[in-house]
Amino acid sequence: MLSRVADSLYWMSRYLERTEHTARLIGVGLTQILDQTPQAIAPRWGRLLAALHVEPPETGLDDPQAITRLLTTDAANPASLVSCITLARENARQVREQISSEMWEHINQLYLRMRAATIEQIWHDEPVEFYQMVKERLHLIQGITDATMNHGEGWRFIQVGRYLERIWATTLLLEVFFQPYLNGEESAIDSIDWVVLLKSCTAFEAYCKVYTADVQPAQIAEFLLLNAESPRSIRFAADQLQDSLEQISQLAGGRHAGRAERLAGRLRAQLDYGQVDEIIAGDLPLFLRQIRQQCTAIHEAIYQAYITYPIEQALLR
């Protein structure tokens, strides 16, 4: 596969995953304001913005419309929905011959819908339903991708992008919510906040099926970090990431097996054999930052092996 094709598929997938993640967090944030005072909701908006690496708007954290504008229609914000879906569409456009026509049509339709939206219109209609629509469209695109693309090298690069992005986003959420709790600021995080964390990962119902509705921080950390069956857990994503990297290597004739697979295997083993009590007793925020560092190293290894490899290596392909 050409390196430019692999690059575009990888980043298309990452930006689609990022768009879905951001829409989900906005939707959760808006649901919170229905029965909360502005004083109570401000720190919760602050945590969601921190999990997206976005600075609050100038009007502060008690202005939900300004926050949603910043995260939705502000083209100057690289983390906004319109910015992410624009980049996803551009990467998809560059590999039209690799993706299915159904994929392109639905990505393009969502892009056009996002470009036409204004925050005033969103708030005038029903904001929660708008972000639900964005999530559902992205879930549809993911299903169409799996149903209409050959599950070859290109599809595997899409999986790598999706799960690497998911690991990164989930570790940030966990760190933002657990940092004040582990610092002894128990009053800053209550049971509502733990439910918000689970819903921000689309994991509340799945969590309840394992632990019932007993929302406990250690159990939440265990579920989102180490559960092998939940598609939103870091362990599940790491499993999928390593499997896809192994398949890419095999499909490429095994010529490029190396650092990326070893790093992904190391991350997978770390999560396979991790114990949540030991992780929390150690330094959970540090553990999460180390996972993101490993993700960065995996990303760089993928680029070195498949995308920006030296000319000498290219001649051997």
Dump pLDDT digits (tens) for 263-304: 999 999 999 999 999 999 999 999 999 999 999 999 999 999
- Spatial distance between the Cα atoms of 13 and 165, rounded to a whole number of angstroms: 9
- Spatial distance between the Cα atoms of 102 and 296, rounded to a whole number of angstroms: 32
Q: What is the pTM of this model?
A: 0.93
- Spatial distance between the Cα atoms of 207 and 224, rounded to a whole number of angstroms: 9
For the segment 232-254, what is each residue's pLDDT rounded down to a tens digit?
Answer: 999 999 999 999 999 998 887 66
Which ranges of the chain does DSSP label H, i.e. alpha helix? 3-32, 38-51, 64-72, 81-94, 101-116, 119-124, 127-148, 153-182, 191-200, 204-211, 217-226, 234-251, 259-272, 276-282, 284-302, 311-315
Cα three-residue angle 262-243-21, rounded to 5 degrees: 100
Note the pLDDT of residue 315.
35
Instruction: Reply yes or no on whether the pLDDT at 97 is more than 60.
Output: yes
Listed as own residue / partner, the contacts of 206-210 with beta carbons closer than 8 Å and 24 or more positions apart are: 206/230, 206/232
- Dihedral sign for Cα 220, 225, 227, 230, please: positive
Q: How confident is the model at residue 312 (pLDDT cuts 50, 70, 90)?
A: very low
Domain locations along the chain: 1-149, 152-317
Residue from 145, 23, 170 nearest 83 by CA: 23
Q: How confident is the model at residue 257 (pLDDT cuts 50, 70, 90)?
A: low
Q: How confident is the model at residue 2 (pLDDT cuts 50, 70, 90)?
A: confident
Q: What is the mean pLDDT of residues 55-63?
A: 90
Instruction: Reply yes or no on whether the pLDDT at 181 is more than 80.
Output: yes
Q: How confident is the model at residue 309 (pLDDT cuts 50, 70, 90)?
A: low
